[in-house]
Amino acid sequence: MKKEKYAVHPDFSILTHIRPSLNPKTLLLTQKTMRMLYYRERSDAAVRVERLTIPVTNGPDVSALLYTPKNTKTEGCLLDIHGGGYAFPAAPYHYALARKYAVQASCQVLFPDYRLAPGQPFPAAVQDCFAAYEWLLKHTASPIAVGRDSAGGTLSMAVTLMAIEEGMKVPCAQLLMYPSVGNCGETESMRLYTDTAMCNTRDMETYGQMYVHDPVAGKLYWRSPIEAESLAGTPPTYIETAEFDSLRDGALIYAEKLMELGIAAEVHQTKGTLHGYDMVLKSPIVQDMVRRRTDFLRTAFTGQ
């Protein structure tokens, strides 16, 4: 039996065989197939699911799901922006976690179905997600957190910086799992993990080419938050990294920049993990991290 190059924890060994196809023709079919999951979301005994249509200033309306826990008072709202390299729709674990966050953090969860590359390149996704944030500001007085995984982390950080720049109410917290923070140069993790499953340095280059057709179509920090002129005003931020992930070191650099500004950054460096480890929902490691995330959100919403 071939020995794995990386010491991946047994919980995540299944991920070592997953390499999403980034072929444009295959991707188009994948987008159509995966998007069906959005329309299958329904209310259940624990969570009410509503379908919304949110107006976007610079594009067509964006569809969104609003998850509300049925058996508890809500303390806040999470703008939940799924990852997927700006090219893949939400996967089953994204929807499952949205429900968990709603119940375990006692909050509403707004889940936008933002436009995807390469058909709808930068800055379409940013505009959709910011429109979702503006919608929340108009429809709830509760504290609003923003976040999620990978490219969803990039979009979340961009939303925060846009709110700061516009002089709007800023999210009370950022929740970032193995986020793509933007251009940090050639970090050690970018140099090392060029062949890992799920996502690697080479994949990141391909995602970037599909996403950014015109680099001046939007502001630099919309696609590379770490290159913002200033991160001042960023709220308390929770960050998880995966060990064998090209994005790992960039997230740590981002955390350091926040802490240098006196901004609280809670960092968890998971071990034996690959990008996308959230997919293995039955893993005790993932379940523990979900508890940590929801603890962070509850504190952000209530101050306790």
Q: Which residues are catalytic?
A: 150, 245, 275
The answer to whether the bond into 121 is cis (omega within 30° of 0) is no
Distance CA 161, CA 29 (A): 34
Distance CA 170, CA 251 (A): 21
Are 203 and 180 spatial neighbours (Cβ–Cβ below 8 Å)? no
What separation in angstroms does the CA of 230 have from each of 186, 203, 261? 21, 28, 10
Between 124-139 and 151-165, two packed helices, what is the crossing angle to 10 degrees? 60
112: β partners: 64
Query: What is the DSSP code (8-state) at residue 226?
Result: G
Are 78 and 109 spatial neighbours (Cβ–Cβ below 8 Å)? yes
Between 92-104 and 284-302, two packed helices, what is the crossing angle to 10 degrees? 50
Residue 181: phi, psi to the nearest 5? -90, -10
53: β partners: 63
Question: Which helix (H) or strand (E) is 60 found in, with range?
Answer: strand 59-69
Degrees to nearest 5, angle at CA 183 with 179 and 189: 65
Query: What is the DSSP code (8-state) at residue 12?
Result: G
Terminal CA-CA length for the chain: 51
